[in-house]
Chains A and B, each alone.
Chain A
Amino acid sequence: MQITVKLFATFRNGRFKLDRQEFRTGTDCRTIVLGLGLKEEEIGVVLVNGRHAALDQVMLDDDTLSLFPLVGGG
């Protein structure tokens, strides 16, 4: 299945902004995160199609996964 992966803030360093990637059906967020060389405890916010998700959420074909470190402002 095809997943759009978007990275933000420091996660972009040495990686990418946006990429379409191919994964096996049934892949969860955690697998994708670890595959990017990110550690679980670095993850601040996970959005799947613009909604907050847990790392064990299973991805579906054509989903968009957005990953952020903990960030804030206001």
Chain B
Amino acid sequence: MMTEARLDVDLNGVRFPNPVLAASGCFGSGREMAGVIDLAGLGGIVTKSVTWAPTRGLSTPRMAETPSGMLNAIGLQNPGVEEFRAKDGPFIESLGVPVVVSVAGTSVEEYSQVTLRVRDLPGVVAIEANISCPNVERRNQVFACHADQAAEVIGAMTRLTTVPVFAKLTADVTNIVGVAQACVRAGAHGLSLINTLLGMAIDVETFRPRLGAVTGGLSGPAIRPVAVRCVYQVAQALPETPIIGIGGVTRAEDAVELMVAGAWAVQVGTANFFNPGAVAEVAAGIGEFLTRKGLAGPTDLRGKVQLRRNVPEPAHRRG
């Protein structure tokens, strides 16, 4: 008889009941979904990114559907960390599902201040630093696009808390491994790969950009190959560092692909919008997949990509 696979995962001390979490900005804090689905099947929830002050975000249109994906330009709308504590804090404490708080800012100081206000919330097992934000002190360069600026934020946050910090990186860089290594050296416990890819869509009838903010982040199945590549490259360079794979997961097979590339866990974002049960369904599907393959748990998938021998360095071969 086949034994059933265990789904719980341990990311060097950060534990989740299964390897599938809801991605930041795609699940609220879970409060909105509590009446819609049974939250018990979730591996965890990453909250919508929280900033210091209430942030109203960008003007509409904030989304544009594109082939197998969508562009969004929300502009980090959130009520600010004080209201987040007051409204979502008690919910997170009572939830019984591990919560990762996503922290965003536009200066190192803001990331630090927000970290100080969320590090003590009961129920929070980790902090995710959304560093795909413009740095107002450095000509609005995006933190995650520069290894030194990314490391500065992560270093400041990890000095302020013993709660493990995951750095969420963007693939819009020439060398994601370099940024990943800098974050780990600065104290990041793990890495979340990847955030949305910067994109743009234009209405050809009116010649107007389809997003109010002109450009926005691409998500959904369209970006999955990019996510798999990033996870693979970073996992090869940093095999001891927990990696959470994110990008275009809609089914268990997609999650398995990211884990075989090197992810220790995954997050599901856009899929929640059209399938509110996506996170739990993907988790259950991974269980079935493991059982079918006779594997004991998600770690049996991690980084198990089978490279053929004598393959030339694949990174820059594009056709």
**Same complex:** no
Interface of A with B (CB < 8 Å)? Answer: none
